[in-house]
Amino acid sequence: MSYASTALSKATTLLTLKKMKENKQKFVTVALYDAPMAAMAEQSGVEVILVGDSLGMTVLGFDSTVPVTMEHMIYHVEAVSRGTNKCLIMGDMPFMSYATIDQAMRNAARLMQAGAHLVKLEGGEWAADTVKQLSDRGIPVCAHIGLTPQSVNKFGGFRVQGRDKDSAQQLIKDAQVLEAAGADILLLECVPDELACEISAQMRIPTIGIGAGRDCDAQVLVINDILGLTAQPPKFSKNFLLESKDIPDAMANYVQDVKNGAFPADEHIFK
């Protein structure tokens, strides 16, 4: 695949993503943390960059996302914003940075001023009021449900969510309530493919999946997983560098495989 031929021709907006969902066109998200990789993502045709609190593990050496601070997030959002003019930048709200409405307002504003185009926060039905307050004040929100890594200590580890009837119904309800509250995007992490398919079909807003089957409107992977830099990669990831000539080619192949439905394959999906 030609690296240059896939470059974004114009800036991605939330309206772009909604139109792609309506037209059943997949879009591509990558979690990354610096300007050079952001520029490469733009050239590869990646529509959305997630500056994720996953940087706690991939960059900073923590064993979870819990120690990540607002200062960490702002530093990396600023770096990514200097590397791209066309990708939509999503900034993660770190652990306990949105525990109250006042905290959420203040910290979301800081991320937006650093260069994010929308913020992402973890939480189901309980987070609906926060989503509504942010949305009402002009701050776009991606709501993250399923496996929410900031709650790893509550879950007792990184576990697939929604495998029994009650928890599946709760995730469906979470999705519905968050969309009604004003969420602009829904991210589903580590849920069975049939459940993710059902939720995505119900949503008017775009859905992004990671370990959530192939029926979401988009996929997201962490750049470290794409490039084979993770010592123990999760089941839902793929090392695209193995079949590519260099890093730009790996990024472009990831984009192509998401667009044409080759990724995720059966071995990356939770049944």
189 carries an active-site annotation = yes
Q: Which amino acid is at 29?
A: T
* CB 227, CB 241: distance < 8 Å: yes
Rounded distance between C-alpha atoms, residue 188 and residue 201, angstroms: 13
Rounded distance between C-alpha atoms, residue 92 and residue 32, angstroms: 12
Lookup result for tokens 């991210």: 187
Start-to-end CA span in the chain (Å): 31
Task: Report helix, strand or coil for 182.
Answer: coil
DSSP state of 267: G
Token duo for residue 49: 């960059």
Q: Which amino acid is at 203?
A: M
Residues 163, 168, 170, 173, CA torsion sign = positive
Q: Nearest Cα to 196, choosing from 223, 180, 174?
A: 174
Lookup result for tokens 């900034």: 91
Q: What is the DSSP track for 58-123?
A: HTS--SSSTT--HHHHHHHHHHHHTT-SSSEEEEE--TTSSSSHHHHHHHHHHHHHHT-SEEEEE-
Which of 189, 194, 198, 243 is the catalytic position? 189
Point out the residues that are catalytic.
189
